[in-house]
Structure 1
Amino acid sequence: MTQTPFLPACAEEDVPDGGTLLVRLGDPARPVLLCRSGDAVHAIEPWCSHAFQELACGMVRDGWIACPAHGARFDLASGEPLNPPATKPVATFPLRIRDGTVEVAV
């Protein structure tokens, strides 16, 4: 079984507190949304599973992100929807921070 390698995404300080940063990783490049909630940084797919709206402008609070279009919230750790209208999760990606660099396995 081949393990997906971690790829450098950005400096940890580039992910704003309570905010997001869209990065592209891999070949071909895959968009990944980095989100910081408190001390934790998470990596998720950048589109709402309900209406495929961009989550980059969504509100990040207490371990969740809200879709700016319809208000569906997603748990940043699991990707699970927390309220309607979303019923399907968003993908999450393994993330680690090494020497101040955020690395994501995509």
Structure 2
Amino acid sequence: MTQLPDNKKITVIFRIEAGCLGPQGANHVVDFSGVAQQKLAARFPDFIKWDVSPRDDKNLPELDYGIGSRLLTRDQAQRYLAALDTPIDDLEQQVFDHLPQLIDQYFGR
């Protein structure tokens, strides 16, 4: 696949809950988010930009999608990713399946 210019890449906004990092997660979630963003940047670099941050507002979903400064609905993101032969359900499953590995790497397990 040809690499898309940054302004055409879909942004995957991944909000990490402190609780997934254990009882002291609140002390680590900001640093972990930065590390996770660097690690995830290697996944689908041709068409995804990752934005990983703590999930401070529980009203916001764990995953959101956007292009540029515009948020996309899940249906819009699904159509965009389908055009890139990447089913959104598969992408989301890969993210959540990879999270325990990222946590283990962060804590040096």
TM-score by length of 1: 0.33
Q: Between Structure 1 and Structure 2, whose CA radius of gyration is higher?
A: 2
**Which structure features the higher share of helix residues?**
2
**Which structure features the higher share of strand residues?**
1
Say which structure, 1 or 2, has more relative contact order (CA 8 Å, 6+ apart).
2
